[in-house]
Amino acid sequence: MMLAGKIAFVTGGTGGIGTAICERFEAEGATVIAADLADKGGAERFHHFDVTDEAGIIATFDQLANEHERLDILVNAAGIEIEETIENTTLEQWNRIFAINVTGMFLTSKYALPLLRKSSGASVINFGSYDGYIADPGLAAYCATKGAVHALTRAMACDHGPEGIRVNAICPGYVDTPMLQSFFEGEGSGGDGGTIETLQQAVRDVHPMRTYGTPQDIANLVNWLASDEARYAAGQLWVIDGGLSAQVQQMKL
């Protein structure tokens, strides 16, 4: 098993991708804490966790330090999406999505560092997006947060690589999750009068592979980056999007 004996902490651990990551980590022999706002019943070890609550984050890692001597894997997968242009995005929405997608990642990583330093080879895996490189229409604030995650990932890799902590980012494209279904159903870039079925097929057709991803596809890459096999992988943005961003032109959905 690739992660036998390792301790992993996964924010957003009961979401679509987070659940797949936790399940894969457990199958590979890791002890996994699924950290999220709600326990959806799938995790062996669930911890209520709000990435916007600094005091709560500090208390969580203090508790973790009492239970475990170290932390080997941190996955920052918590995130939300707002389907608006900047004109229609309120300041409250802007501040909220940055608080969760960027500041929450900063706070979680900051207070996990003392435990990560005690690992013999820690791995931090942040969640960016292909939307941090190119933009879907109607996702302005979301795109901005993912660009920030990409820059933060590189900075963390440079700062903490000398301490034996590898930091990378996963940059998914379209993945079959509740967030994607919300995109299909919304009135922003995903909706616009189409049925869910026609929109789903349009998304599949625009990919060179003629499909979009599953949470398990993402978990496979996260698992490798968390493992010792990826010991030389650091400071990189790993795009996994079925070839979508390799194209010169893309369909406007």
Tokens of 67: 């239970």
pLDDT for the residue numbered 186: 60
Q: What is the pLDDT of residues 17-30, one digit of tens each?
A: 999 999 999 999 99
Range 187-203 average pLDDT: 63
Note the pTM of the prediction, 2 decimals: 0.91
Q: Is the pLDDT of residue 53 over 70?
A: yes
Q: What is the pLDDT of residue 136?
A: 86
Q: Which of 174, 164, 170 is nearest to 223 (CA)?
A: 170
What confidence tier does 210 reach under pLDDT thresholds 50, 70, 90?
Answer: confident
CA distance 2 to 46: 22
What average pLDDT is seen over the chain?
91
Task: Write down the pLDDT at residue 199.
Answer: 74
Q: Is the pLDDT of residue 149 over 90?
A: yes
| 189 pLDDT above the threshold of 50 | no
CA distance 136 to 142: 10
Per-residue confidence (pLDDT) for residue 60, from 0 to 100: 98
Flag whether pLDDT at 12 surpasses 50: yes
d(CA 206, CA 186): 19
Structure tokens at 61: 């890692």
- Which of 4-8, 120-124, 194-198, 219-223 comes out lowest in average pLDDT? 194-198
Give the Cα separation of 114 and 109 in Å (integer): 10
Per the document, the length of the chain is: 253
Summarize the confidence of residues 38-47 as an average pLDDT. Answer: 82
pLDDT tens digit sequence for 54-64: 999 999 999 99
| 211: confidence class by pLDDT, cuts 50, 70, 90 | confident
- Residues assigned a catalytic role: 142
- Helix orientation angle between 91-98 and 140-160, rounded to the nearest 10 degrees: 30
pLDDT tens figures, 86-110: 999 999 999 999 999 999 999 999 9
**In the predicted model, is pLDDT for residue 236 greater than 70?**
yes
pLDDT digits 0-9 by tens, 237-250 = 999 998 888 886 65
Fold adopted by 7-174+214-240: Rossmann fold (3.40.50)
The burial class, CB within 10 Å (0-12 / 13-18 / 19+), for 194 is middle
pLDDT score at 195:
67
Q: What span, in angstroms and rounded, lies between the C-alpha atoms of 158 and 31? A: 28
Q: Note the pLDDT tens digit of each residue in 122-148.
A: 999 999 999 999 988 899 999 999 999
Q: What is the DSSP string of 191-231?
A: -TT--HHHHHHHHHHHSTTSS-B-HHHHHHHHHHHHSGGGT
